[in-house]
């Protein structure tokens, strides 16, 4: 029994071939490509492959609007990939907010930084002040800052309700004559009897008449698994589990007075790390990091709600506190949460007929909002490497394997930046020892010194240069060492040398293993 929710009949202008392929998808569940998961990556890659003339089946277990607390911040690099995919209309008419930069609030000191122009070098800081008590920071007064405000070509990101964005992507796929969407739950792959090739997926489809789930199968020359962070297929086909060190607990703030309109905000304080960004005209998302086994969030201390009320709330800017308190007082439930995961990438192509991509294959801490940028960049690269000019027949497993090798190499410069930056900044911003706290202070001082253009370019997914990221990170380490020396006193040479080695060692073990994993995997 068919339970399709996409375009299954030929429009008057649809070719006979398209009609035949659509009928085959519906009747026989056969296509060139089967995509499992209609999330950001799944929809993007299904649509772009379909635009190349491939016949595509898109499978999704739940076609209702999802309600997720991450996947709401799209950095400028991700928006550029969305444009390259012809999907920029998906952030229209969903009350999306334009973002121009990031504001870091470090123990009450405020540093607002914009995404850089292309090839922008060192620039004076946009703003560095003590945070005003009324939540309205003074505007930049320099002529250069005023020029920056009016510059139309400066990169910009978008933030929005995740579910609204996903539904726009899905509606685009529904309108594509080369895609048929089925609401069904993928449970296993279909394997050849006498060969290792993956021929498709087994699913369970709910019969609307009985409410019972019935076995089903879908077949394709290539199966793309994009079933997200909780992938059912990761263990079998990648064999490694994500590393989880903390969770983000989420609140939706109503009419929150953020210190800077059009900026994401990171608030760093004692035992506090909070990310805030506007997702609608009236709504602001607050994500509070809660490390595993945090004593301040233990049941004896009032649990997560007690931690939010007693530790986090007092350290937020005064303008944010009323809406944060109101969101927390709305009910007595524990706020929704998501694990903050790190999963290094795995080269694809080892399993003929199948690839895993998206969060099923690679994840990073969501602090920097880089997940969708990686996903959309991967969709662009995959569509190029699987184009008909390079891979005419998706059943040619050797050609597909070579395409995946090229994809893996091409994605590294950008994804290594985003993934390493996310993990390194989380370690610094959630500092849990003296050396990391010193590096945290050095990082903020580095921004105050005016070295924000490249770091903001990394954050925005605009600069794919891993070695440049390493240069900036270790320069931050030397700034941290210098500030530490000033505190101790330059005459205490043995202690200074010990502290310098200790801080530099911490910087090395924070940054280098993650970068090595990203570049050598």
- Do the strands 56-60 and 30-36 form a parallel or antiparallel pair, or are they unpaired? parallel
Q: In what order do the strands lie in the sheet with 337-342?
A: 127-130, 109-114, 101-106, 263-269, 272-278, 283-291, 243-254, 337-342
How far, in Å, CA of 230 to CA of 360, rounded?
A: 7
Q: What is the pLDDT of residues 232-242, one digit of tens each?
A: 999 999 999 99
Q: Are 94 and 165 in contact (CB under 8 A)?
A: yes
CA 321/CA 309 separation, integer angstroms? 10
Arithmetic mean of pLDDT, 55-76: 96
When the pLDDT of each residue in the chain is averaged and rounded to a whole number, the result is 91
Residue 437 C-beta-side C-alpha neighbours within 13 Å = 9
The answer on pLDDT for 3 being more than 50 is no
**What is the rounded distance in angstroms from the CA atom of residue 360 to the CA atom of residue 384?**
21
- pLDDT tier at 31 (50, 70, 90 boundaries)? very high
Q: Regarding predicted confidence, which is higher, 140 or 261?
A: 261
Q: How far apart are CA 344 and CA 242, in angstroms?
A: 8
Instruction: Choose between 372 and 137: higher pLDDT.
Output: 372
Answer yes or no: are the C-beta atoms of 142 and 136 closer than 8 Å.
Answer: no
Instruction: Give pLDDT, residue 4.
Output: 53
**What are the tens digits of pLDDT across the range 148-202?**
445 558 999 999 999 999 999 999 999 999 999 999 999 999 998 888 899 999 9
> Which of 6-20, 364-378, 493-507 has the least mean pLDDT?
6-20
CA–CA separation, 430 and 126 (whole Å): 24
pLDDT at 152: 53
List C-alpha distances in Å: 382 to 41, 86, 226, 385.
11, 15, 13, 5
pLDDT, one tens digit per residue, over 377-428 is 999 999 999 999 999 999 999 999 999 999 999 999 999 999 999 999 999 9
Write down the pLDDT at residue 276.
98
pLDDT grade for 14, boundaries at 50, 70 and 90: low
> What was the pLDDT predicted at 18?
86
pLDDT above 50: residue 11: no
Residue 243 has pLDDT above 90, yes or no: yes
Residue 362 sits at the vertex; the CA angle it makes with 360 and 363, to the nearest 5 degrees, is 100
pLDDT tens string 305-327:
999 999 999 999 999 999 999 99
Residue 134 has pLDDT above 50, yes or no: no
> pLDDT per residue over 361-372, tens digit each?
999 999 999 999
- Using a pLDDT cut of 70, give the percent of the chain over it: 90
Q: What is the 3-state secondary structure (H, E, C) of 154-217?
A: CCCEEECCHHHHHHHHHHHHHHCCCEEEEECEEEEEEECCCCCCEEEEEEEEECCCCCCEEEEE
Short-list 60, 100, 64, CA closest to 79: 100
Q: Alpha-carbon distance 484 to 474, whole Å? A: 15
Task: Band the pLDDT of 121: cuts 50, 70, 90.
Answer: low
> Can you tell me the mean pLDDT for 459-475?
96
Which of the four pLDDT bands, split at 50, 70 and 90, describes residue 268? very high
pLDDT category of residue 138 using cuts at 50, 70 and 90: very low
What pLDDT, on a 0 to 100 scale, did the predictor assign at position 495? 84
> Across the chain, how many H-helices and E-strands are there?
14, 18
| Maximum C-alpha span of the chain | 84
């Amino acid at each position: 029994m068919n339970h399709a929710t996409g375009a299954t009949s030929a429009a008057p202008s649809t070719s006979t071939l398209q009609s035949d392929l659509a009928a085959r998808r519906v009747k026989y569940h056969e296509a060139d490509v089967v995509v499992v998961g209609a999330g950001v990556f799944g929809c993007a890659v299904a649509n772009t492959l379909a635009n190349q003339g491939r016949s595509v089946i898109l499978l999704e277990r739940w076609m209702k609007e999802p309600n997720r607390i991450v996947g709401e911040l799209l950095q400028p690099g991700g928006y550029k990939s969305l444009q390259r995919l012809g999907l920029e209309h998906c952030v229209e008419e969903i009350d999306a907010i334009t973002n121009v930069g990031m504001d870091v609030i470090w123990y009450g000191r405020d540093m607002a930084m914009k995404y850089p122009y292309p090839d922008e070098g060192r620039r004076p800081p946009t703003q560095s002040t003590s945070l005003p008590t009324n939540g309205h920071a003074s505007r930049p007064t320099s002529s250069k800052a005023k020029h920056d405000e009016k510059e139309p070509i400066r990169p910009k990101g978008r933030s929005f309700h995740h579910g609204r964005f996903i539904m726009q992507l899905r509606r685009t796929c529904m309108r594509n004559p080369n895609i048929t969407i089925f609401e069904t739950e993928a449970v296993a792959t279909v394997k050849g009897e006498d060969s290792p090739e993956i021929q498709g997926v087994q699913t369970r489809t709910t019969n609307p008449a009985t409410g019972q789930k019935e076995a089903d199968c879908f077949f394709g020359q290539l199966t793309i698994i994009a079933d997200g962070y909780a992938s059912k297929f990761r263990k079998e086909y990648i064999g490694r589990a994500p590393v989880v060190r903390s969770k983000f607990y989420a609140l939706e703030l109503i009419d929150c007075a953020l210190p800077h309109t059009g900026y994401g905000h990171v608030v760093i304080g004692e035992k506090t790390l909070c990310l805030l960004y506007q997702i609608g005209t009236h709504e602001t998302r607050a994500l509070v990091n809660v490390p595993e086994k945090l004593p301040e969030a233990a049941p004896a201390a009032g649990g997560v709600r007690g931690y939010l009320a007693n530790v986090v709330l007092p350290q937020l800017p005064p303008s944010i506190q009323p809406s944060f308190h109101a969101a927390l007082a709305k009910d007595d439930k524990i706020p929704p949460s998501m694990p903050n995961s790190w999963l290094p990438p795995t080269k694809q192509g080892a399993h003929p007929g199948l690839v895993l991509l998206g969060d099923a294959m690679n994840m990073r801490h969501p602090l920097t909002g880089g997940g969708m940028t990686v996903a959309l960049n991967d969709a662009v690269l995959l569509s190029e490497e699987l184009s008909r000019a390079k891979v005419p027949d998706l059943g040619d497993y050797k050609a597909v394997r070579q395409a995946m090798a090229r994809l893996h190499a091409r994605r590294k410069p950008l994804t290594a930046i985003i993934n390493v930056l996310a993990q390194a900044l989380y370690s610094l911003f959630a500092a849990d020892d003296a050396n990391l706290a010193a590096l945290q202070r050095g990082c903020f001082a580095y921004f105050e010194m005016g070295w924000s253009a490249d770091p903001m370019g990394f954050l925005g997914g605009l600069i794919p240069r891993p070695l440049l990221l390493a240069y900036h990170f270790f320069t931050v380490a030397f700034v941290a060492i210098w500030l530490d020396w000033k505190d101790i006193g330059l005459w205490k040479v043995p202690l200074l040398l010990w502290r310098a080695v200790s801080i530099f060692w911490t910087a090395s073990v924070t940054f280098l293993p993650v970068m090595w994993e990203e570049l050598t995997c």
